[in-house]
Amino acid sequence: MALFMKDSLKGKTSRVVFASYLAFLAVMPFGEMPLLGTREVFTVTKAAFLFLMAGLAWAAIRGWRPRMAPAVYGVLALFLAGTLAAALFSLDMRHSIVAWVRVPSMVMLGLATFWLVDEERGRARVICWWCLGLAAIFSALGIYQTMTGSTIANFGYYSVFGRLMSVAVSDVPGSVTLVRASATFDHPGFFGNYLALILPFGVLMLDGRRWSDLRTWGLVAVLVAGMLALVCTLSRGAWLGMAAALVVIGIGRASARIGWVIFAAAFALALVLIPADTRPILISRSHQTQYYDGTRLVSYQTAMRILVRHPLLGIGPDMFNRMFKLYAPPGIKIRQNPAHHMDAHNTFLDLGAETGAAGLLPFLAILGWGMVRVCRLARPCSMCGESSPADDRLLALALAAALAAFVIQSVFLSLEYQEIFWVILGIIVAVILPSDRGNTTQTMRRN
């Protein structure tokens, strides 16, 4: 198969492209943080993404050619075509076309990740460590937000809410509130998704480490901070997603037990650190129905009604919020907050309602194919006669755990356009496709 780049281009050009990619990962969690004071028109994340695309274009001009992977490109082309068709036949084509632009940007992010990791597998390890380091920084900010009820430098005030989100024990006036950790993200649930997909890599990096090594305890500190921040998001989907990831890791890995201990310690630590009068809120999140759960159930029902009426192309990208009242079950009275952008609160129902089978089926094909192949790579390959290298299996297990966390969280949140998912998906594609380059750089080598 073709190399990612010609041998003469491996060097400065390749390093520049990868540097622009890492720069994007660094600002990716800033979501809709405006650049130059213009809200949502030109954000920090969009600027970094354009810089990444410019790096790829520069490499292409210098002779870069992507690896040929017809099956991968084909299913992504179907996903793009299906979502575009849904936008063109939308109930509001102009609005849906503008919203559809994020679809090719997510696909390009996944492809950029695939191309870069495919060229040199060691970059998967770099990306893992880079994201873990970023997670530690964002976790510190998220913990600060929950413990103090405020934030630093207005981080978290630029989402559609324009404020940090809080929860209440009840709707009674004067009830105690607790701020949910969101760090720089647009929503606490998205922050929880980021952590649940990244922390499994850190848990598996504990595998086989010496406890006398200070670097091991440094990694443990990062995991404790990350899981404490995940608890502070008060996102039940993120909690369940992290639990699902640890279950997957538990397939023959001692590090899963350490992960469970850290996860339990994070809950206990949260109860100690948060203000005493808000502790009942954290406890109630784990076993009681919340006041807005009824609204989510209505969102599920509405998405199903849309999917039944428009099974092929849906109602168009970003149209769920606009058409919610029209398709909501009869007799349901819900006052829709104009400042709150409603979605189906479910990745699969959201895609199905807005893009129909044309967008949902290719997405499920990508997700299912990736999960099956990465699970095969994560275990000794008795069917093919030989085992994958230990480091490849370790990385594959971490990727499988991240996908498990994504699937579980997708039941509670609409995450199809979250960048971290497409980064993980790009790494998966690069890892599971066979390589003939002879490049056997270890991906998760233990320091």
Report the C-alpha gap between 353 and 31 in whole angstroms.
Answer: 24
Q: How confident is the model at residue 60 (pLDDT cuts 50, 70, 90)?
A: confident
Residue 333's Cβ-count burial label (10 Å; 0-12, 13-18, 19+) is: exposed
The position carrying tokens 């991968």 is 72
Report the C-alpha gap between 82 and 84 in whole angstroms.
Answer: 5
Residue of 127, 159, 173, 178 lying closest to 395 (CA atoms): 127
pLDDT in the model for residue 434: 74
**Mean of pLDDT values over 321-329:** 86
- Return phi, psi of residue 42, to 5°: -140, 105
pLDDT 10s digits, 416-443: 999 999 999 999 999 988 764 434 333 3
Asked if 56 and 112 count as a contact pair (C-beta separation under 8 A), the reply is yes
pLDDT 10s digits, 358-412: 999 999 999 999 999 998 888 754 333 344 566 778 899 999 999 999 999 999 9
Report the C-alpha gap between 206 and 321 in whole angstroms.
Answer: 43
Which ranges of 101-254 would DSSP assign to H, the alpha helix? 102-119, 122-148, 188-205, 214-232, 236-249
Angle, helices 236-249/188-205, rounded to nearest 10 degrees: 20
Report the C-alpha gap between 39 and 37 in whole angstroms.
Answer: 6
Asked if 59 and 5 count as a contact pair (C-beta separation under 8 A), the reply is yes
Spatial neighbors of 261 by CB under 8 A, at least 6 apart, are none
Question: What DSSP string runs through 303-355?
Answer: HHHHHHHSTTTTT-TT-HHHHHHHHSPTT------TTS----SSHHHHHHHHH
**Is the full-model pTM beyond 0.85?**
yes
Report the C-alpha gap between 398 and 196 in whole angstroms.
Answer: 11
Q: How confident is the model at residue 40 (pLDDT cuts 50, 70, 90)?
A: low
**Mean of pLDDT values over 56-78:** 89
Asked if 379 and 333 count as a contact pair (C-beta separation under 8 A), the reply is no
- Give the largest CA-CA distance in the chain: 68
Half-sphere exposure of 145 (CA within 13 A, CB side): 34
Residues 107, 361, 81, 97, Cα dihedral to 10°: -80
**pLDDT greater at residue 9 or residue 401:** 401
Q: Is 209 left (phi over 0), alpha (psi -120 to 50) or beta?
A: beta
Asked if 313 and 89 count as a contact pair (C-beta separation under 8 A), the reply is yes
**pLDDT greater at residue 42 or residue 231:** 231
How many other CB atoms are found less than 10 A from the CB of residue 123?
22
